[in-house]
């Protein structure tokens, strides 16, 4: 009998993290699931014998090293479940999470079911999480799409396959329209945008099921923290084989990754996004702030900022001119700046960019980040699980 849920775990050169993710997903031996490990390492080292006699676990090595979206795409061909979700090899499934998901799936006919996925940052030793009430609610997707084009920041509560269960019907319908479900070098973001464009709504389960684990070895965290100057990010881009940041003339930041996906889907499926346009001024404000927060020398920050005003940048000319003018006024025509240059003193730290506070979207008022210090991913999971169990009694958890 076909399993109800397929948990796809793509992995690349992180066997110890992958083993932890597999053990956590397989903890309840009674559940009707398929755990599909998409092994894409240089030298595959995961073996079925590592996990005992559990016939729900399948390890499928690739015949050659694939790009991340290609490896993810083959998982859709191998998945046998009525619903499919993708788990990062660095993430941890909470006890009882899959059982809870099965209950929601059986009680509803939704084709896309999104759940909470807080994150634990290894370097900062902080769990970023939300208040959850454990309820399910229907979320309209049109205002969601509009908010991303207005403010191309990280997509909170987006119905991405990294934090959602997609029915087989939903996957087949989207692939019939798009050819592929995983597009660009941010395939998780692409699934959220495509699902939101195709479906008028999705079901939100206001419950934490998985804790994401990030660190210097994480592609997303490396991008957000170190930018294109980080070897991890540079290696990932080369491996992907198509550097969208260089092609579009934009810096490598989280906002730029979201922007690249939005531009790609709008170009490939214009009928879905006819009335949606990028708010370029908001994008420039966001990416400037992100560049200034990168842990790289100021000289490198200046180089990244120059990309935003270069002739090859995808940003429309009038916005680039505004940005260049403001930078010249702030630096070149500033008496203090000229004096520092004359005295040949080291460059001062870049001043912060004043940006207006972006209002929360309607569905985000319930999912503002809370920060709880944790020393390990195990402790972070305990905190997330405790909030799951007490969220209705303790609304401030």
Angle of the 280-293 helix axis to the 317-330 helix axis, nearest 10: 40
Q: Whole-angstrom Cα distance, residue 179 to residue 174?
A: 8
Q: Whole-angstrom Cα distance, residue 387 to residue 395?
A: 9
Residue 342, domain member (yes or no): no
Q: Tokens in use for 190?
A: 């692409």
- pLDDT, position 165: 97
Closest to 204 (Cα-Cα) out of 239, 165, 242, 230: 165
Residue 22, domain member (yes or no): yes
Q: Whole-angstrom Cα distance, residue 249 to residue 203?
A: 37
- pLDDT, position 325: 72
Sheet strands side by side (includes 201-208): 57-61, 33-39, 5-11, 83-86, 164-167, 112-116, 201-208, 136-140
CATH of the domain at 167: 3.90.550.10
Q: Whole-prediction pTM value?
A: 0.85
Q: Domain total for the chain?
A: 1
Residue 157, by phi and psi: left (phi above 0), alpha (psi -120 to 50) or beta? left
Q: Which residues pair with 371 in a beta bridge?
A: 128
Residue 272, domain member (yes or no): no
* Structural domain boundaries enclosing 197: 5-139+154-218+369-390
- pLDDT, position 61: 95
Residue 130, domain member (yes or no): yes
Angle of the 68-78 helix axis to the 187-198 helix axis, nearest 10: 60
Residue 334, domain member (yes or no): no
- pLDDT, position 370: 81
Residues 29-44, buried b or exposed e (16+ Cβ, 10 A)? Answer: eebebbbbbbbbbeeb
- pLDDT, position 302: 85
- pLDDT, position 132: 81
Residue 309, domain member (yes or no): no
- pLDDT, position 395: 39
Q: Which H or E run includes 218?
A: none
Digits of tens for pLDDT over the chain (397 positions)?
689 999 999 999 899 999 999 999 999 989 999 999 999 998 888 988 888 889 999 999 999 988 888 999 999 999 999 999 999 999 999 999 999 999 999 999 899 999 989 999 888 899 988 778 888 999 999 988 998 999 887 776 689 999 999 999 999 999 998 888 998 778 889 999 999 999 999 999 989 999 999 887 777 777 666 666 666 667 766 666 667 888 889 988 888 989 999 998 998 889 999 899 999 999 998 898 888 888 778 888 888 888 998 889 999 999 888 887 766 656 555 665 555 555 545 555 555 555 445 555 444 544 456 889 999 999 999 999 988 776 544 333 4
- pLDDT, position 225: 67
Could you tell me if 146 and 273 are in contact, meaning their C-beta atoms sit under 8 angstroms apart? no
Closest to 170 (Cα-Cα) out of 113, 93, 248, 99: 113
Could you tell me if 118 and 384 are in contact, meaning their C-beta atoms sit under 8 angstroms apart? yes
Identify each DSSP E strand in 182-316 by its residue range: 201-208, 210-214
Q: Whole-angstrom Cα distance, residue 352 to residue 341?
A: 20
How many CB atoms neighbour CB 8 within 10 A? 23
Q: Whole-angstrom Cα distance, residue 37 to residue 330?
A: 52
- pLDDT, position 339: 56
Residue 281, domain member (yes or no): no
Residue 261, domain member (yes or no): no
Residue 211, by phi and psi: left (phi above 0), alpha (psi -120 to 50) or beta? beta
- pLDDT, position 394: 38
Q: Whole-angstrom Cα distance, residue 181 to residue 68?
A: 12
Q: Whole-angstrom Cα distance, residue 216 to residue 389?
A: 31
User: Residues in the chain, how many?
Assistant: 397
Q: Which residues contact 246 (CB under 8 A, 6 or more apart)?
A: none
Q: Whole-angstrom Cα distance, residue 226 to residue 246?
A: 17
Q: Whole-angstrom Cα distance, residue 51 to residue 64?
A: 24
């Amino acid at each position: 009998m076909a399993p109800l849920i397929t948990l796809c775990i793509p992995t690349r050169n992180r066997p110890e993290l992958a083993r932890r993710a597999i053990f956590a997903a397989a903890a309840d031996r009674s559940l009707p699931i398929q755990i599909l490990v998409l092994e894409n390492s240089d030298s595959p080292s995961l073996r079925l014998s590592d996990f005992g006699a559990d016939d729900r676990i399948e390890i499928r090595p690739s015949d050659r090293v694939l790009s991340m979206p290609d490896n993810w795409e083959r998982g859709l061909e191998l998945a046998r479940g009525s619903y499919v979700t993708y788990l990062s090899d660095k993430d941890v499934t909470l006890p009882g999470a899959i059982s809870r998901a099965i209950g929601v799936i059986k009680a509803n006919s939704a084709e896309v079911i999104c759940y909470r996925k807080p994150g634990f940052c290894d370097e900062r030793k902080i769990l970023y999480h939300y208040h959850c009430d454990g309820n399910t609610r229907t979320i309209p997707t049109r205002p969601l799409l509009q908010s991303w084009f207005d403010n191309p920041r990280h997509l909170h509560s987006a119905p991405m396959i990294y934090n959602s269960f997609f029915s087989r019907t939903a996957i087949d319908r989207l692939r019939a329209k798009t050819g592929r479900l995983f597009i660009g070098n941010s395939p998780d973001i692409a699934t959220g945008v495509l699902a939101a464009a195709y479906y008028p709504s999705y079901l939100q389960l206001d419950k934490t099921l998985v804790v994401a684990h990030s660190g210097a070895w994480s592609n997303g965290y490396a991008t957000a923290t170190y930018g294109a100057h980080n070897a991890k990010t540079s290696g990932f881009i080369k491996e992907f084989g198509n550097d969208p940041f260089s092609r579009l003339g934009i810096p490598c930041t989280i906002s730029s990754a979201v922007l690249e996906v939005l531009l790609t889907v709008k170009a490939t499926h214009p009928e879905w996004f006819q009335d949606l346009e990028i708010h370029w001024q908001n994008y420039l404000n966001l990416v400037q702030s992100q560049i200034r927060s990168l842990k790289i020398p100021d000289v490198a920050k200046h180089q990244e900022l120059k990309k935003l005003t270069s002739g090859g940048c995808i940003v429309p000319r009038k916005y680039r001119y505004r940005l260049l003018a403001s930078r010249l006024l702030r630096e070149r025509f500033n008496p203090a700046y000229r004096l520092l240059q004359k005295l040949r003193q080291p460059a001062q730290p870049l001043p912060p960019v004043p940006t207006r506070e972006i209002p929360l979207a309607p569905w985000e008022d319930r999912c503002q980040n809370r920060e709880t210090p944790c020393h390990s991913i195990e402790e972070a999971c305990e905190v997330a699980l405790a909030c799951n169990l007490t969220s209705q009694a303790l609304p401030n958890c």
